[in-house]
């Protein structure tokens, strides 16, 4: 029995590794009150090792070509997520969320991302298989995202106010809001709010109130959905195999929670990393255009292999980091 061209054994290994890793992560962090940079760095290394072990498994089980397609997709998803993590920093700052509560919100945000990515991957790969010309639309959208980032004159590291984000306003219209944090709760009952604190802290009367923690989660999910419109075409540009696309995205996403705390600490130093991400977006647009032309119109004879994609991604990110170290922005 096969599924998307892969034996059921591979699917079992993939989801089994994810389930065990997430469970291990949860058990390890259940009593953690504050996320240190050291702890976050160790867990970043853990998730990277897990992703690389799956790469080795694909190489041994199939061949290097399949493994490299997965690795190229993983590296693209990981590198594009850097800009999304900067947005998370702005969101948490807007709502005044502490690091421990950030960890909890990111956990539920990533759980939502796992489900949304599955839907996006099925739709994206389905459209690409059914109508290869759709790849041109994907390429145009990715290029447009790169242009939008270039038009942003600032570094992208400024703190914006996300308390009035469209998703937050939508929740405010759907249900009452309690404007103060209530421990780590996403929702609070009317009877649990002291009378002295209710004045001016609730938008309107109700039985249940959404807290700023839940509004923050909604803003995180909304920004991640927007991010998916770039990342899904990016991974499809290196492999059209749905399971490899999903595996690359999931292993990259599972490490975002701890990567966030590392990026948050290094944001003011990695000042040129955003430019590297923009360069990768344009590379993705070119690669998808060529790939779509080969599928829809005819073979051009131009092919960018997964091995070359891996080298380009690593080289571009390394250049961004090196430029940040050699040419730091003056404070």
On whether the CB atoms of residues 238 and 76 are closer than 8 A, the answer is yes
On whether the CB atoms of residues 51 and 74 are closer than 8 A, the answer is yes
**Which residues is 5 bridged to in the sheet?**
none
pTM above threshold 0.85: no
Mutual angle of helices 99-130 and 256-266, in 10-degree steps: 120
How do the pLDDT tens digits run along the chain, 331 residues long?
334 456 777 778 877 877 787 777 666 655 555 666 777 788 888 888 988 998 999 898 888 888 888 888 888 888 777 777 777 878 888 888 877 788 788 878 878 887 887 787 778 777 776 676 777 887 887 888 778 777 764 444 444 667 788 888 888 888 888 888 877 788 888 777 776 566 666 767 778 888 888 999 998 888 888 777 777 777 777 777 777 888 888 888 877 777 777 776 676 677 777 788 888 888 888 887 887 787 667 666 677 777 787 888 888 888 888 888 787 765 4
Count helices and strands in the chain by DSSP H and E runs: 12, 4
**Spatial separation of the C-alpha atoms in residues 254 and 258, rounded to whole Å:** 9
**Spatial separation of the C-alpha atoms in residues 55 and 100, rounded to whole Å:** 32
**Spatial separation of the C-alpha atoms in residues 214 and 98, rounded to whole Å:** 14
Exposure letters 237-276 (e unless 16+ CB within 10 A, then b): bbbbbbbbbbbbbbbbbbbbbbbbbebbeebeebbbbbbb
**Spatial separation of the C-alpha atoms in residues 286 and 245, rounded to whole Å:** 19
């Amino acid at each position: 029995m096969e599924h998307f061209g892969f034996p059921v054994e591979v699917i079992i290994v993939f989801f089994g590794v994810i389930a065990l890793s997430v469970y291990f992560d949860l058990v390890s962090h259940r009593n953690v009150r504050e996320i240190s940079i050291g702890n976050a760095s160790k867990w970043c290394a853990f998730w990277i090792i897990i992703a690389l072990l799956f790469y080795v498994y694909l190489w041994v089980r199939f061949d290097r070509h399949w493994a490299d397609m997965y690795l190229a997709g993983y590296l693209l998803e990981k590198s594009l997520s850097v800009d999304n993590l900067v947005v998370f920093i702005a969101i948490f700052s807007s709502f005044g969320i502490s690091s421990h509560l950030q960890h909890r919100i990111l956990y539920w945000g990533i759980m939502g991302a796992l489900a949304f990515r599955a839907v996006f991957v099925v739709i994206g790969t389905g459209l690409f298989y059914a109508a290869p010309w759709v790849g041109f639309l994907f390429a145009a959208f990715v290029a447009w995202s790169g242009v939008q980032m270039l038009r942003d004159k600032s570094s992208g590291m400024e703190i914006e106010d996300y308390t009035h984000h469209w998703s937050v306003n939508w929740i405010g219209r759907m249900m009452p809001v309690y404007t103060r944090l209530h421990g780590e709760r996403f929702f609070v009952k009317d009877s649990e709010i002291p009378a002295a604190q209710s004045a001016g802290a609730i938008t309107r009367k109700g039985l249940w109130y959404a807290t700023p923690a839940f509004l923050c989660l909604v803003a995180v999910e909304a920004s991640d959905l927007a991010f998916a419109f770039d990342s899904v075409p990016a991974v499809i540009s290196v492999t059209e195999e749905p399971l490899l696309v999903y595996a690359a995205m999931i292993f990259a996403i599972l490490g975002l929670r701890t990567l966030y705390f590392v990026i948050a600490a290094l944001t003011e130093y990695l000042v040129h990393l955003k430019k590297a991400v923009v360069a990768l977006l344009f590379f993705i647009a070119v690669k998808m255009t060529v790939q779509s032309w080969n599928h829809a119109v005819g073979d051009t004879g131009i092919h960018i292999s997964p091995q070359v994609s891996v080298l380009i991604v690593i080289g571009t990110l390394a250049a961004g980091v090196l430029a940040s170290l050699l040419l730091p922005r003056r404070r």
